[in-house]
A = this chain, B = another copy of it.
Amino acid sequence: MKVIETDFQGWMGGVQARMEAALARLLPGGHVVPERLHQAMRYAVLEGGKRARPLLAFAAGEVAHALPDRLEIVAAAVELIHAYSLAHDDLPCMDDDVLRRGKPSVHIEYDEATALLVGDALQSLAFQLLVEHRLADSASVQLEMVRVLAAAAGSRGMAGGQQIDLESTGKSLGLPELELMHIHKTGALIRAAVMLGAACGKVNDAERQKLDHYAKAVGLAFQVVDDVLDYEASTVTLGKTAGKDFRQGKPTYLSTLGLARSRELAGELRAEAHAALESFGGRARRLAQLADFIVLRKF
């Protein structure tokens, strides 16, 4: 067990280091005009986060025998969409948060207008990355990759989830409504990470469906665990303001299901994720380890 963990930690650290270097290279330099915008974009993206979405893309890529050079680009594109959503989320008109990934939020370190433009420009850059590199054997597969990311980011994906979140503040939601929110808000981009990673290599339709099933379960598990951690953890461990959703009257898995049932649900979703991977055998080892990591993590 110890050996497996060490192996997984090593793989994870390797992907994280690779992603940090890739993102630093793919983002415009801080000396490129307009300098302040590019510096703020780098601030918003670099040296932060667990890179959960890139890890999922790389792990899904192993199932599909995808080239790491391709995975790096799709993982970066997904991570830029994620980073843009955090910069916008933290703005005063949204969640009004001053701390993110253990550092001042973008609008605190810079200013609100710059944080707004950082998010806007990161979104454009994500799509630019997906077309400026060769990521698939055919251009039509690559067009489909752009479609997957655009749909995941848009009004019927992540941005739509944010809107549902806004409208649900102060309300008590049932489990179906809460799931609808999270399937949009975090689930869509997590699914995109897995699907884009797989699209860099070869998978058939049946395999794609299983990966999608895995991604859905992991996406929900991620959110359930986030809610539990938000309740349990301190701000220092979390790297963002703890207990905030609760204080803002946002419905969470905790407020809907209670702590015990939320923990149970996370375990069920973990089992569901593992079940979806069964037929892949050893190829899905990293995806299976990630499902464990996401559910068992303490931060």
Q: Is B119 touching A155 in the complex (CB atoms < 8 A)?
A: no
Are the C-beta atoms of A159 and B112 separated by less than 8 Å? no
- Encode A93-118 as 1/0 by CB contact (under 8 A) with B: 11000000000000000011110110
Q: For residue A104, give the distance in angstroms from its CB to the closest CB of chain B.
A: 17
The reply on A206 being an interface residue by CB < 8 A is no
Residues of B within 8 A of A167 (CB): 34, 36
CB of A93 within 8 A of CB of B113, answer yes
Q: Which of A37, A125, A142 has the most CB of B within 10 A?
A: A37
Closest to A146 in B: B131
- Would you call B147 and A131 a contact (CB within 8 A)? yes
Within 8 A of B (CB), among A117-174: 117, 119-121, 123-125, 127-128, 130-132, 138-140, 142-144, 146-147, 149-151, 153-157, 159-160, 162-164, 166-167
Contacts A114-B166, A131-B147 given; indicate if A121 touches B155 (C-beta within 8 A): yes
B37 and A159 form a contact (CB under 8 A): yes
> Considering the chains assembled together, what is the distance between the CA atoms of A151 and B28 in angstroms?
12
A266 and B131 alpha carbons, distance in the complex (Å): 36
How many monomers of this protein are in the complex? 2
A180: B residues at CB distance < 8 A: 33
Q: Pick from A120, A139, A150 the residue with the most CB of B within 10 Å.
A: A120
The answer to whether A41 has its CB under 8 Å from any CB of chain B is yes
A residues sitting closer than 8 Å to B (CB atoms) are 28, 32-34, 36-38, 41, 84-85, 88, 91, 93-94, 111-114, 116-117, 119-121, 123-125, 127-128, 130-132, 138-140, 142-144, 146-147, 149-151, 153-157, 159-160, 162-164, 166-167, 180
26 pairs, A vs B, C-beta closer than 8 Å: A88-B116, A93-B112, A93-B116, A94-B113, A113-B166, A117-B166, A119-B120, A120-B120, A120-B153, A123-B124, A124-B150, A124-B151, A124-B154, A124-B157, A124-B159, A127-B149, A127-B150, A131-B143, A131-B144, A131-B146, A131-B147, A131-B150, A132-B147, A139-B140, A142-B143, A146-B146
